[in-house]
Amino acid sequence: MNLIYWVDSRSNPVFPPDLEPDRDGLIAAGGELSERVLIEAYSKGIFPWYNGPPVMWFSPDPRLLLYPADFHVPAQLVRLVRRQAFTVRFDYDFSRVIAHCAEVPRKGDTGSWIDPQFVAAYTGLHRHYLSHCVSVYQGNDLCGGLYGVSLGRAFFGESMFSLKANASKVALFYLVEWLKKENFHFIDCQVRTEHLVRFGAVEVSRTSFLDQLTQALEYPTHNYHWRHPKER
């Protein structure tokens, strides 16, 4: 049984290189969601996920990745995108997107880990264009979206929501199109969900993921306002 490593947010590094996750992917606990701590965590394949203090940090094995080039677009989604039934914007309404991700219930979920501390932390990252969102509208009504963290050529998907059928899928479609254009290596989907597997996501070992992450982080981070060419 692994002993839980307790994070000291003042230490350098915050997460030592020899940490190993337990069978549930838990690798550390405690600390804070400051920009410095979050950036180090993501750069080491670690992410926060919890329902109330302390912060719980995870690095699961296996890891679910979606490679943009392997994204499977169902015919129904292709038709929906071609109809242009939605307006899609990047890095717009971030606070509303993350609030809906926290509030909109998902099948099988008993609650959200996105509490006010999470909202404040990722909104802070967004101010420095380290977290990004895709928002989907019908008319002026926000009806779907997603957000995540970007470092190098890696995108770490955090959460998505839909108030209208398929709105989050449209957000994912446009995100993948943008990531393809910018030569991103993968979307980190963290843990397996059948929903994402149907879109082409695959499980890889933690060792393989960390190797791929190291390669993705060799490139500059896209820390500016994202805008998809088809945004209107």
pLDDT of residue 139: 92
Rounded Cα distance, 3 and 6, in Å: 9
pLDDT of residue 2: 61
Kindly indicate the confidence band of residue 51, based on its pLDDT and cuts at 50, 70 and 90: low
Cis peptide upstream of residue 74 (ω within 30 degrees of 0): no
Q: Is the pLDDT of residue 37 over 90?
A: yes
DSSP assignment letter at 3: P
Q: Is the pLDDT of residue 231 over 90?
A: no
Which CATH fold topology does 64-216 show? Answer: Aminopeptidase (3.40.630)
pLDDT of residue 50: 76
Domains 1-60 and 64-216 share a fold: no
Extents of the domains making up the chain = 1-60, 64-216
Report the pLDDT averaged over residues 180-209.
96
Q: Where are the beta strands (DSSP E) in the chain?
A: 26-29, 47-48, 56-58, 63-66, 87-90, 131-138, 141-151, 154-162, 186-190, 202-204
Q: What percent of the chain has pLDDT over 90?
A: 84
Contact 228, 179 (CB under 8 A): no
pLDDT of residue 206: 98
CATH code at 1-60: 3.30.70.3550
Q: Which of 8-17, 57-66, 103-112, 162-171 has the lowest mean pLDDT?
A: 103-112
How far does CA 104 lie from the centroid of its chain? 17
Q: What is the pLDDT of residues 147-178, one digit of tens each?
A: 999 999 999 999 999 999 999 999 999 999 99
Instruction: Count the alpha carbons within 13 Å of 81 in the hemisphere toward its beta carbon.
Output: 18
Task: Output the average pLDDT for the chain.
Answer: 92
* DSSP secondary structure string for all residues of 8-26: -TTSSSSS-TT----TTSE
100 Cβ contact list (under 8 Å, min separation 6): 142, 145, 161, 163
Kindly indicate the confidence band of residue 100, based on its pLDDT and cuts at 50, 70 and 90: very high
